Structure 1
Amino acid sequence: MEEFNNKIEQYYVKKVDADKKSIYCHHDLMGELFTTTHKHDKAQLLYAEGDVVFVTTETKTYFLPARHLIWIPNGVVHSIHPKSESVMMRNLYFPVEKGEDAFYQNEGIYPVNNLLLQMMLFTNQWNGDLKKGSPNYVIAKAIKAILPQICLTNLPLELPLPKDVRLNKILRHIENNLGETILFSDVAHQFGYSERSLYRLFQKDLNMSFIQYYTIRRILKAIELLLDRKLSVKEVAQEVGYSSVPTFSNTFFKILGQRPSDYLNGENILKSR
């Protein structure tokens, strides 16, 4: 285990940040690789293909579905947990420049449109440092430059980590019963709260309501099930507690910007290249 952690440390510190002016590129199947908590001086663009990736910071767990990217500003402490060994991770690490757009200062998950997808395809054979002034550096710089213009919808695919230990049991209850309809009033009664006091606890500690947390968690589970490709959309809806497929589809669309059927039929383009 110590040798494994040393390899991770060497990769992220000695390689990514070794040349302060280069753009560092790393594309690879994750295998069983779990990237322990770390940070780097460069900002990171991470694109996932094939399955789900969990990115955990000090305050949140981000849920990165296939065919989406996450932007991680420099200096943000985080760990990376691929859901399966089939995940293809494509990373570009950018040095911070003066006067950058405010976009680059915030973490966020965004869908990848056709333009950005084709540009990512072009990086497929790259690995290591892209030296300033080289053709590949210019192309990578263009990828970074277009992000504020095309990444207009920061998807709410993250859940805050509770600070109040009283919430842990409640959140585990939600996690363990996603296939059932969970009523806020029932949860409050079961765990000995008035509805008003439990509402305040969610808002104060997680900065969101119970229903917001519950809805996002159901949709995140639905994405996992869709990517497994073992269940139909109707069956996925039932697995996350929706008796109505249209209601499930509408909720999925509001959060992810596409219908579950479209997401289910999406192709793993980069993985096959």
Structure 2
Amino acid sequence: MEQEQLGVIDDNEYDFYVCHTHVDRIDSREYIHQKARLLYADGGIIHVFTATKHWYLPGRFYMWIPANTAYHLESSSSHIHLYSFYFKEQEGVHPVLLDPNIFLSNDLMREMFLFARDWEGGISRKTSYSRYCLLRAMMAIIPEMSPPIDAFPMQHPYPKSEKLRRIARYLNMYIDQAFTIEQVAAQFGMSSRSLSRLFKEDMGISYIRFLRAIRIAKALELMAENTYSILEIAMRIGYSELSSFSNIFTRVTGIRPSVYMSKINEYKN
């Protein structure tokens, strides 16, 4: 997002601004704008950092970022399609839209996102009444049709160094493999001691804890698809035992996977 584009987004002439982009690399600069942002990502996991929290935004979920909220984005995924809808502040907004929140994209919301995928630029009642009406409807139904997900955010550091970001992308690509730190270090021409030290210095956590975090983030994405059983998801992210996956998922998110899947089904229905 360039500075001049930010100026257009905040232009009071427009009630809404729509901008969709395909990106291979997320710009990690901090942003703050006078319109609220609805952010939906296809093709990867986005990390959203506000002043107080770190949010995971997997596929099939979207995030509401209120106006005048300072934030920046990170991602180890590539080929991401970012859908961005910006909404001018209104009086009497629903309380759930006053704070940042993650929502599951039910079928209706996702169809709205896809319907608007070719839109670009400022929208007002005068410029395009039909698009204006759809965006007003989108904002109105968010609190009623898409309750915020209880298991978010998951607090966790994210790599600052480019080397660790490459390792994160590698681990995401082979998420079903149980790589040891020695194997990963050898793959990237390092000693396991050097890689362990880099994790501690860069993020303050161990390799094992970071691997666990990206696995659980992938599990959340697979759960949202509602295609696989919990056992199948566990196997797809590198756990050979359901009990191990269930215990780690509960420790990281604060909710058991079976309960979380039930919530997903409730929200979709």
TM-score, length of structure 1 as denominator length: 0.64
> Is the CA contact (8 Å cut-off) linking 2:48 and 2:73 kept in structure 1?
yes
Which amino acid is the alignment partner of residue 219 of structure 1? I
Summarize deviations over 1:4-51 as a string: whole Å, max 9, x none. xxx632222x12112354200001112224141010000010111111
CA gap 1:77/1:120 in 2 versus in 1, 3 angstroms? same
Q: Does residue 142 of structure 2 align to residue 147 of structure 1?
A: yes
Which amino acid is the alignment partner of residue 10 of structure 2? D
TM alignment of 1:157-176, pairs within 5 A? 157-160=152-155, 175-176=206-207
Q: Does residue 259 of structure 2 align to residue 254 of structure 1?
A: yes
> Which residue matches 1:185?
none
Deviation at 1:83, TM superposition (A): 2.6
> Which residue matches 1:8?
2
> Which residue matches 1:233?
234
Percent identity of the aligned residues?
Answer: 23
Summarize deviations over 1:55-100 as a string: whole Å, max 9, x none. 1111111110011100000010001123323111101000001111
Deviation at 1:151, TM superposition (A): 1.6
Which amino acid is the alignment partner of residue 78 of structure 1? Y
Q: What is the CA–CA distance in structure 2 between the aligned matches of 1:179 and 1:160, rounded to whole Å?
A: 11
CA gap 1:87/1:40 in 2 versus in 1, 3 angstroms? same
- Mean Cα deviation higher: 97-106 or 36-45: 97-106
CA gap 1:178/1:243 in 2 versus in 1, 3 angstroms? farther
Pick one of 216, 220, 225 that aligns with 1:219.
216
CA gap 1:170/1:218 in 2 versus in 1, 3 angstroms? farther
TM alignment of 1:115-134, pairs within 5 A? 115-133=108-126, 134=129
Summarize deviations over 1:178-226 as a string: whole Å, max 9, x none. 399xxxxxxxxxxxxxxxxxxxxxxxxxxxxxxxxx9x77622644799
Q: What is the CA–CA distance in structure 1 between the aligned matches of 2:143 and 2:206, rounded to whole Å?
A: 34
> Is the CA contact (8 Å cut-off) linking 2:20 and 2:117 kept in structure 1?
yes
Summarize deviations over 1:221-273 as a string: whole Å, max 9, x none. 6447999xxx963252528x9654566788334346459xxxxxxxxxxxxxx
**Partner SS state of residue 63, structure 1:** strand
Deviation at 1:120, TM superposition (A): 1.3
Q: Does residue 33 of structure 2 align to residue 40 of structure 1?
A: yes
> Is the CA contact (8 Å cut-off) linking 1:30 and 1:82 kept in structure 2?
no
**Partner SS state of residue 76, structure 1:** coil
Pick one of 168, 178, 183 that aligns with 2:209.
178
- Mean Cα deviation higher: 245-254 or 47-56: 245-254
Summarize deviations over 1:110-165 as a string: whole Å, max 9, x none. 11111111111211110000122421011111111100101223343324479xxx
Gap regions ≥5 residues in structure 1: 1-6, 163-167, 181-213, 260-273
Pick one of 53, 56, 61 that aligns with 2:54.
61
Count residues with an aligned counterpart: 209
TM alignment of 1:257-268, pairs within 5 A? 257-258=263-264
Pick one of 77, 82, 98 that aligns with 2:75.
82
> Is the CA contact (8 Å cut-off) linking 2:234 and 2:242 kept in structure 1?
no
